[in-house]
Structure 1
Amino acid sequence: MKTCDNTSVGIVITDHQGRYLMFDRAIFPPGTAPAAGHIDDHGTAEDAARAEVEEELGLTVTGLTHITDCWRDNPCRRVPSARGTGHHWAVYQATVTGDLTPSARETKNVRWIAPDALQELADRTVAYAQGRITDAEFEAAPGIEPVWMQWLADIAAIHVSSDDLLRVDQLIRRSPPGPS
């Protein structure tokens, strides 16, 4: 099993109608999210962003705009490194070209989501963080992957109270399930 490199990229993709390209994660962690992945041997964060969009969605990045860099205590399914659990994230907005050809291994239910539907997914994640939805219910019909809530709020893609964002942050620290 791979050791985590503690570095990740995330890539928000929108179309000319203002919809967000999102998918349900086929592997841990559960949730609906944009393209993302470890930097690993991709080189720079920008190189990794381009590679992850290609690997997960089959699209070619034509432009990247940096949104944020920050540390998040989110676990992944890899073995923790000497730095422990968590990732330094570089998050981008991207423009893309090509035909959508999603990875069956990493993605399911790939779709363009209108802003109101994205807000509904955020509300589901908040309900999960508040304990109104069980783990099994969230995995069966996920809201937004918790690590993404703050960034999507930062770019005004969703609206969530600061108290609810703190609750969601508690979800981020949950460990992945053991090997099956």
Structure 2
Amino acid sequence: MDLSAKTGHDGTRPPPPTEATTIMTKRCDNASVGVLITDAKTRCLMLERATFPPGLAPAAGHVFDDHAGYEQAARAEVAEELGLTVATLELLPVGGWRPNQCRRLPGPRGVGHQWQIYQATTTGTLRPSARETRNVRWMTSVEMQRLASWTAYYALGRVSDHEFAESPGIEPVWVRFLTELGLIRMSPTDLANVDEVAAQPVRS
């Protein structure tokens, strides 16, 4: 794996969000859902988070804010973040408990989230949320691999927090999910390093 590889940035992106280092006073519900949307070319629809944590990832969010459960949250997050309507949902065999940080105060189980990851088909016209997303785009496995390698490089401490916020790789918690789904490759050592970064608190 080439840890020096980067791609997907054209130098014209807006500055990183100022909210990235702002901790909310809302308490975490310790539950997150992620929704992987693919097209006929097996590309994945990825978005850059406009709030902490920085990184590119599929649509995702907390579950029990205004939703009755994971499936309802999955449909709502796709609509809120991407403006699309979920047609079908399939629960994928990845997820579980991950001790990843979010902007919120620790929940009843402390820091972390019980994840469920779905694959979805959608209808409608892509209308990304300007408040929650940036730089939404379809990505090939090669592009995701390069950005995951950049995240692994960041996890080694060779990229600063500011540099990663300015030019992010894959959101750390998603590196393991994408690896387990066979969409990217990552060594066990690199995965452990990235998991450690995902568990770190908001840094100013």
Pair 1:52–1:168, CA change in 2 (3 A): same
State the shift of 1:165 in Å.
0.4
Q: Equivalent of 2:38, from 1, 14, 18?
A: 14
State the shift of 1:81 in Å.
2.1
- Answering whether residue 84 of structure 2 is matched by residue 36 of structure 1, we say no
**CA–CA distance in 1 between the matches of 2:180 and 2:47?**
20
The AA in structure 1 aligned to 2:172 is P
**CA–CA distance in 2 between the matches of 1:111 and 1:84?**
33
2:182 alignment partner, SS class:
coil
Q: Equivalent of 1:143, from 166, 169, 172?
A: 169
- Answering whether residue 119 of structure 2 is matched by residue 93 of structure 1, we say yes
Q: Equivalent of 1:124, from 150, 156, 159?
A: 150
1:21 alignment partner, SS class:
strand
Task: Provide runs of 4+ in structure 1 moved above 6 Å.
Answer: none
Moved more, 39-48 or 103-112: 39-48
- Answering whether residue 80 of structure 2 is matched by residue 55 of structure 1, we say yes
* 8 A contact 2:95–2:177 mirrored in 1: no
- Answering whether residue 160 of structure 2 is matched by residue 134 of structure 1, we say yes
Which residue matches 1:3? 27
Which residue matches 2:104? 78
| Structure 1 gap ranges (5+) | none
1:84-142 CA-partner distances (Å, limit 9, x unpaired): 11111111111111100011111000001111111111110111112221111111100
1:27 alignment partner, SS class:
coil
TM-score with structure 1 length normalisation? 0.95
**CA–CA distance in 1 between the matches of 2:153 and 2:162?**
13
2:75 alignment partner, SS class:
helix
1:54 alignment partner, SS class:
helix
State the shift of 1:11 in Å.
0.8
2:53 alignment partner, SS class:
coil
The AA in structure 1 aligned to 2:132 is E
TM-score with structure 2 length normalisation? 0.84
**CA–CA distance in 2 between the matches of 1:120 and 1:32?**
12
Alignment length, in residue pairs? 178
**CA–CA distance in 2 between the matches of 1:23 and 1:147?**
14
| Structure 2 gap ranges (5+) | 1-24
**CA–CA distance in 1 between the matches of 2:79 and 2:200?**
28
